[in-house]
């Protein structure tokens, strides 16, 4: 209730800040770049000589040694030297090769992300080719029948927009701007109300306000004590001058000064 009351009292400031917040959110939505993602998965198959025991079908000859081979290739492809070499050949998007989380088989998952859709798709092609190249380099001294092979089983030729990369910073910006749009009017209203209560409290404990002809409160001008006493003394002198009879006991002093009795003048002359 207090929050809504503060916003109602400061509705002009609140409206301006809300409009500014919406403008900032819209600008952030336009300016924040899109993030594209492409993926692929590569499976490692047993050599032909091993698959002969399973009727020549390599998909029936999975074993733990294939997982170990996949791990070695994964480490080599994720190496910084390999990443720099791929970038030098035009495959500059960010990529990551991991073990497949949904299977215990020798499957590697390739994920490529970037702000350039074409570059993401191009890098995906280069990374999957690099996996096969690294595997061949490890087995360069072996006969073809004894080599492990790698086959791409899933591939995303068209990169898709990764909405979470844009939604998260946009949500942070929107939250901060809305908090400021609500908080600033509340703070301003609290300061204004505090000053108003302080002013009203001072008026109740002090002297009543003087009202001018236009109905507005008139500020009282304070006169220093010395100047006030001087004015009062001059006023009393003028009253004394008017009260002394012309035929009386002393002489009046010109320009409004008080008259002195004859006895006082005589004593001062002595």
Q: Where are the domains of the chain?
A: 2-30+182-196, 35-161
What end-to-end distance do the CA atoms of the chain give, in Å?
Answer: 86
Higher pLDDT, 249 or 123: 123
What is the percentage of the chain residues whose pLDDT exceeds 70?
Answer: 74
Per the prediction, the chain carries an average pLDDT of: 80
Reduced to 3 states, what is the DSSP secondary structure of residue 208? coil
**Weakest-pLDDT range from 28-42, 144-158, 243-257:** 243-257
Cβ–Cβ under 8 Å, residues 61 and 54: yes
Task: Among 5-9, 33-37, 223-227, 239-243, name the one with the lowest average pLDDT.
Answer: 239-243
CA atoms within 13 A on the CB side of 258: 13
In this prediction, residues 128-141 reach a mean pLDDT of 94
Q: Which CATH number fits domain 35-161: 3.30.70.1130, 1.10.1520.10, 1.10.10.10, 1.20.1260.10?
A: 3.30.70.1130
pTM metric for this prediction: 0.59
| CB contact at 8 A, 39 and 158 | no
Higher pLDDT: 82 or 30? It is 82
CA 123 to chain centre: 34
Lowest mean pLDDT among 6-15, 80-89, 138-147, 261-270: 261-270
pLDDT at 250: 44
DSSP state of 59: G
Distance CA 34, CA 162 (A): 7
Least confident range from 16-30, 133-147, 225-239, 243-257: namely 243-257
Round to whole Å and give the CA distance between 114 and 130: 19
Pick from 118, 109, 194: nearest CA to 152:
109
Q: Phi then psi for 124, rounded to 5 degrees?
A: -60, -40
69-83, 130-144, 213-227, 234-248 — which is least confidently predicted? 234-248
| Cα separation, 220 vs 222, whole angstroms | 6
Mean of the pLDDT values across residues 51-66?
91
């Amino acid at each position: 209730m207090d929050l809504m009351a503060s916003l109602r009292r400061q509705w002009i400031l609140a409206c301006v800040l809300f409009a500014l917040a919406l403008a900032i959110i819209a600008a952030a939505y336009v300016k924040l770049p899109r993030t594209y993602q492409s993926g692929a998965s590569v499976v490692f198959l047993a050599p032909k000589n091993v698959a002969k025991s399973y009727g020549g079908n390599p998909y029936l000859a999975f074993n733990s040694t294939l997982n170990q081979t996949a791990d070695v290739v994964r480490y080599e492809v994720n190496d910084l030297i390999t990443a720099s070499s791929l970038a030098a050949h035009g495959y500059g998007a960010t990529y990551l090769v991991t073990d497949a989380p949904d299977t215990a088989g020798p499957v590697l998952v390739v994920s490529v992300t970037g702000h350039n859709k074409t570059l993401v798709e191009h890098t995906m092609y280069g990374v999957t080719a690099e996996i096969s190249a690294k595997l061949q380099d490890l087995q360069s001294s072996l006969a073809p029948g004894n080599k492990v092979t790698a086959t791409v089983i899933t591939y995303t030729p068209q990169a898709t927009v990764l909405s979470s990369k844009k939604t998260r910073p946009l949500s942070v910006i929107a939250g901060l701007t809305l908090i400021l749009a609500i908080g600033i009017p509340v703070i301003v209203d609290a300061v204004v109300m505090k000053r108003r209560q302080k002013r009203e409290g001072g008026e109740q404990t002090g002297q009543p306000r003087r009202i001018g002809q236009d109905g507005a409160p008139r500020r009282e001008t304070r006169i220093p004590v010395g100047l006030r006493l001087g004015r009062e003394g001059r006023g009393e002198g003028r009253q004394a001058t008017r009260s002394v009879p012309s035929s009386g006991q002393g002489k009046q002093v010109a320009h409004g000064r008080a008259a002195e009795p004859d006895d006082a003048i005589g004593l001062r002359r002595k």
